[in-house]
Amino acid sequence: MNFLKKTYVAVILIIMYAPIALLMVFSFNNSKLPIWSGFTLDWYTKMFHDTGIQQAFMYTLIVALVSAIISTIIGTFAAMGINRMRGWQKNAVMNITYIPLLSPDIVIGISLMMLFSVIKLPFGLPTLIVSHITFSIPYVILSVMPKLKQMNYNLYEAALDLGATPWYAFKKVIFPEIMPGVIAGAFIAFTLSIDDFVVSFFNKGAGVDTLPIKIYSMARKGVNPTINAISTIMFTTIIVILLVTNLKANKKVRQAEFKQ
């Protein structure tokens, strides 16, 4: 029985990772065809010298950074405001917040596209950033809200009673308490932005491509080992980031256990 279970898990993991692994292997292959014919770094050199890819990379980073920062700020304050609301007000705002989470990406993409063409905002970097902020804010709100609920509101009032200004009390009392939620929200917003294809696809401007869009237009023209090289780098980056954050979390858990 145990053997059966292990085989089942193994088979699923192989199906999940075989294509990724092969993609990585063939990014070092000395041939355009998927037959191994020697090690090369040609595809990587090609990738680093391709101005289109360089530009797409820069745009992806800019959009991800700017939209993550703005959506984290708006979202954190929104969560604090919503936390003070009651009854129908809170329900109404939360229902609006759920809309981008529940509606299909393609609908978010085309609805924003129509808005931008109606108000005649030229498609390009601003439309990309605005659309990414729009789908990121709900995730920030939902990761900050639980921390606010856990927090003891009396602490904030105590700070005010002891003479702190509201801003000082926020900085010293509220913010440290909700910080894990804010960081998690920023992290989610950043990854969502880097990862997004559908919404960007409808809201990009001519010549302003993000990496996923660049890859899509290359992939449509057929197999291209340069894509394998980009994928390898993107996959490795994500794996390293997740491993590092996960290890840190584990370390904290261990420290907490040790203290007890």
Please list every residue from 83 through 142 that binds another protein, using CB under 8 A: 84-85, 89, 93, 96-100, 102-107, 110-115, 118, 130-131, 133-134, 137, 141-142
Q: Within 197-256, which residues bind another protein (CB under 8 A)?
A: 197-198, 202, 212, 215-216, 219-220, 223, 227-228, 231, 234-235, 238-239, 242, 246
Closest CA to 43 of 69, 24, 57, 67: 24
CB of 143 closer than 8 Å to CB of 181: yes
Rounded distance, CA 126 to CA 124, Å?
A: 6
Q: How far is the CB of 85 from another protein (least distance, A)?
A: 6
Of 53 and 228, the one with the shorter C-beta distance to another protein is: 228
Query: Following DSSP, what letter does each residue of 155-208 receive, concatenated?
Result: HHHHHHHTT--HHHHIIIIIHHHHHHHHHHHHHHHHHHHHH--HHHHHHPPTT-
CB of 185 closer than 8 Å to CB of 148: no
- Helix then strand then coil, in percent of the chain rounded to 5, is 80, 0, 20
Q: How far is the CB of 95 from another protein (least distance, A)?
A: 9
Of 48 and 153, the one with the shorter C-beta distance to another protein is: 153
DSSP secondary structure code for residue 103 in this structure:
S
Does residue 167 bind another protein (CB under 8 A)?
Answer: yes
Does residue 7 bind another protein (CB under 8 A)?
Answer: no
Segment interacting with another protein (CB under 8 A) among 43-51, 61-69, 75-83, 252-260: 75-83
Q: How far is the CB of 22 from another protein (least distance, A)?
A: 6
Q: How far is the CB of 28 from another protein (least distance, A)?
A: 14
Place of tokens 């856990």: 150
Q: Within 44-63, which residues bind another protein (CB under 8 A)?
A: none
| Residues that contact another protein, how many (by CB under 8 A) | 83
Of 12 and 179, the one with the shorter C-beta distance to another protein is: 12
CB of 157 closer than 8 Å to CB of 237: no
| First vs last C-alpha separation in the chain | 39
Segment interacting with another protein (CB under 8 A) among 12-20, 44-52, 61-69, 251-259: 12-20
